[in-house]
Amino acid sequence: MADSAFIGIGRRKTAVARVRLSSGSGRVTVNDRAFEVYFPTDSLRGVVLQPLSVINGVDKYDLDVNVKGGGPNGQAGAVRHAVSRALLKVDAALRPALKAQGLLTRDPRMKERKKYGQPGARKRFQFSKR
């Protein structure tokens, strides 16, 4: 990995993340902002760094992240998916460790659409017998 970067694209709900993974010291920037500013809670930061912690590479790689769409949880999940995919391009031997943690599977859960003639996706108007 001599001065080369690996790109990974991840998705979760309506969020899409593009990650540029390169060798470095563990610096993470998200949308040209500091990692701690963009993901303010420890739980979101843990989700994002989970693939790197599985392979013990938190301080071996620099991440340059571009993410859009969705909310904080969806964006964190999309970044996690993208980092996992980029790590596969770095070394295919990491696949069993990442797959065992479920990091390579795209989470298919989406918000269900609202149906016409009804107040919500599943909710129905109150039934009146007479």
What ranges do the domains of the chain cover? 5-100
Q: What is the mean pLDDT of residues 85-99?
A: 94
Quick check: 117 pLDDT over 60? yes
Strand order in the sheet with 28-30: 5-12, 15-23, 61-68, 28-30, 33-34
Q: Which two tokens stand for residue 75?
A: 């964006």
Give the helix ranges, DSSP H, for 1-130: 35-38, 42-54, 72-90, 95-100
Amino acid identity, residue 51? P
**What does the mean pLDDT of the chain come to?**
93
User: In whole angstroms, what is the distance from residue 60 CA to residue 52 CA?
Assistant: 9
- pTM to 2 decimal places: 0.89
> Which CATH code fits 5-100?
3.30.230.10
* Residue 64, beta-bridge partner list: 20, 29
Q: What is the mean pLDDT of residues 115-120?
A: 94
Instruction: Please give the C-alpha separations between residue 67 and each of 18, 31, 52, 75, 76, in angstroms, as whole numbers.
Output: 6, 7, 18, 7, 9
